[in-house]
């Protein structure tokens, strides 16, 4: 239900009618004497009004009296009135028009409701009796709504009718809105759609080119919520790296050019390193091998995250301090614990010793394995580069 009282089945009814009658108007205002009536659908070309009477808005005797008065007023100026009324609503007094039984809906796919499909068919056949256009008349007489013949964006386009104006706290405040997929979302407009909108058919195209479904409203992250918590988009992991980082598999994010470029640029800028192919490879090897995305995501979820660039540099500096991989000048090999004068390799554990010369971890610990892997990787690269 939209804030204006428009329901999804009402908008769906207009969607189907408008395909046949381009002059149909949704939420038209019709004046009768000194009284103004809002009608769900008005078709000027056949002098017909269509009302969708849902249980939510039309239950009770008081509403029954209002509907009956509205019928008589519209009839008085020559308008025929078709009402699609949901089950269990009271029967209206006789008027110049037709009441058609339909059903309540718990699904966004109207075609899946047999009673609704039958109601649309009967409505179209009734409209055939009130149009003078022979082509449209023939089309309506044969009209049958198929359960399976969905157009590509039918559900999205019906919601676009339902949400047709700008709202506060809209999808413009959604983290990742810059990747909104026009190709998948039909006529929907982000600033018309409430962030609490609960529909599973809204999509973005992630920076890696993968089509992603936007999260359910219960877990949807908004910029508004972040700001209320004192967080700033300018330092956020989703803003700086990728809004979908924590929903990607390691395989996808490791091969994501968008994220990889962001990582290399941050490390290079904050470390004052000149980018070249070897530096880029070293940084990305570190990023992928030591599960840095998972560490950043965990820091974010645990509440320890404050600034993703600072956290990223903290992890990177811990790594370079432990491994000695910090000097990227072509003539120096200190990054692998190698003495450039005599080409002898020093003990790799020397590089993990603290400034007060405490002894290094025992061999066989995870820290030593990490250092050994790094040293071996660097030695192999150096040997390969010198054709040894």
pLDDT tens-digit series, residues 60-76: 899 999 999 999 999 99
Q: What confidence tens digit (pLDDT) does each residue in 167-212 have?
A: 888 888 888 888 999 888 989 999 998 888 866 678 899 888 888 8
Nearest CA among 75, 77, 81, 22 for reference residue 51: 81
Tell me the C-alpha distance between 81 and 63, whole Å. Answer: 17
CB atoms within 10 A of CB 340: 9
* Summary mean pLDDT of the chain: 79
CA atoms within 13 A on the CB side of 129: 9
- Give the mean model confidence (pLDDT) for residues 273-287: 84
Which residue carries 């004068």 as its tokens?
341
The pLDDT value given to residue 388: 45
The pLDDT value given to residue 57: 85
- On the question of pLDDT at 333 being above 50, the answer is no
Q: Which long-range contacts (CB under 8 A, 24 or more apart) does 35-41 make?
A: 35/73, 37/70, 37/73, 37/74, 39/74, 40/10, 40/13, 40/14, 41/13, 41/14, 41/17
Which of 27-36, 155-164, 326-335, 347-356 is predicted least confidently?
347-356
Contact 260, 288 (CB under 8 A): no
- On the question of pLDDT at 93 being above 90, the answer is yes
Two structure tokens written together for 327 = 């000097």
Alpha-carbon distance values, 74 to 42, 91, 388 (Å) = 11, 18, 94
CB atoms within 10 A of CB 341: 6
What HEC string does 250-288 produce? HHHHHCCHHHHHHHHHHHHHHHCCCCCHHHHHHHHHHHH
Nearest CA among 359, 373, 263 for reference residue 325: 373
- Find the helix or strand (DSSP H, E) in which 320 lies: helix 308-323
Contact 84, 123 (CB under 8 A): yes
- Give the mean model confidence (pLDDT) for residues 348-363: 37
- The DSSP secondary-structure symbol of 209 reads S
User: Model confidence at 355, in pLDDT bands (50, 70, 90)?
Assistant: very low
Nearest CA among 313, 320, 354, 362 for reference residue 337: 320
Cβ within 8 Å of residue 247, ≥6 positions away: 212, 215
Cβ within 8 Å of residue 284, ≥6 positions away: 260, 263, 264
The pLDDT value given to residue 256: 87
CB atoms within 10 A of CB 248: 19
User: Model confidence at 46, in pLDDT bands (50, 70, 90)?
Assistant: very high
Q: Which long-range contacts (CB under 8 A, 24 or more apart) does 33-37 make?
A: 35/73, 37/70, 37/73, 37/74
- On the question of pLDDT at 334 being above 50, the answer is no
Is the Cα dihedral 94, 100, 103, 109 positive or negative?
A: negative
Two structure tokens written together for 342 = 């005599």
- Give the mean model confidence (pLDDT) for residues 237-246: 83
Alpha-carbon distance values, 44 to 127, 139, 149, 248, 270 (Å) = 12, 18, 28, 52, 66
Strands (E), 66-150: 80-86, 97-102
Instruction: List the CATH code of the domain at 8-161.
Output: 3.40.960.10
């Amino acid at each position: 239900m939209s804030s204006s009282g428009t329901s999804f089945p009402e908008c769906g009814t207009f969607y189907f009618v408008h395909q046949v009658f381009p002059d149909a108007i949704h939420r038209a205002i019709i004046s009768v004497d000194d009284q103004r009536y809002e009608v769900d659908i008005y078709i000027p070309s056949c002098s017909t009004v269509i009302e969708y009477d849902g249980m939510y808005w039309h239950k009770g005797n008081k509403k029954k009296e209002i509907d009956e008065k509205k019928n008589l007023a519209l009839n008085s100026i020559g308008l025929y009135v078709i009402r699609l009324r949901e089950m269990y609503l009271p029967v209206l007094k006789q008027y110049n028009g037709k009441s058609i039984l339909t059903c309540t809906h718990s699904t966004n796919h109207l075609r899946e409701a047999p009673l609704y499909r039958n109601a649309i068919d009967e409505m179209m056949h009734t409209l055939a009796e009130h149009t003078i256009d022979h082509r449209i008349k023939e089309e309506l007489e044969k009209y049958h709504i198929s359960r399976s013949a969905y157009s590509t964006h039918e559900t999205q386009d019906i919601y676009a009718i339902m949400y047709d104006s700008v709202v506060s706290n809209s999808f413009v405040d959604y983290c990742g809105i810059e990747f909104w997929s026009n190709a998948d979302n039909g006529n929907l407009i982000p600033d018309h759609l409430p962030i609490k909108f609960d529909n599973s058919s809204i999509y973005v195209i992630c920076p890696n080119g993968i089509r992603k479904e936007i999260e359910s409203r219960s877990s949807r992250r908004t910029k508004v919520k972040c700001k209320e918590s004192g967080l700033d988009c300018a330092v956020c992991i989703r803003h700086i790296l990728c809004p979908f980082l924590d929903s990607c598999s390691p395989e996808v994010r490791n091969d994501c050019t968008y994220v990889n470029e962001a990582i290399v640029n941050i490390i290079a800028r904050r470390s004052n390193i000149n980018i070249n192919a070897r530096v880029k490879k070293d940084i990305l090897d570190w990023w992928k091998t030591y599960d840095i995305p998972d560490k950043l995501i965990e820091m974010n979820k645990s509440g320890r995250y404050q600034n993703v660039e600072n956290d990223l540099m903290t992890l990177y500096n811990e790594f370079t301090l432990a491994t000695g991989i910090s000097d990227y000048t072509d003539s120096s090999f200190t990054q692998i614990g190698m003495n450039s004068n005599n080409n002898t390799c020093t003990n790799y554990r020397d590089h993990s010793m603290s400034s007060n010369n405490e002894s290094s971890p025992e061999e066989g610990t995870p820290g030593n394995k990490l250092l050994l892997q790094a040293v071996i990787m660097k030695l192999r690269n150096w040997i390969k580069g010198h054709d040894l």
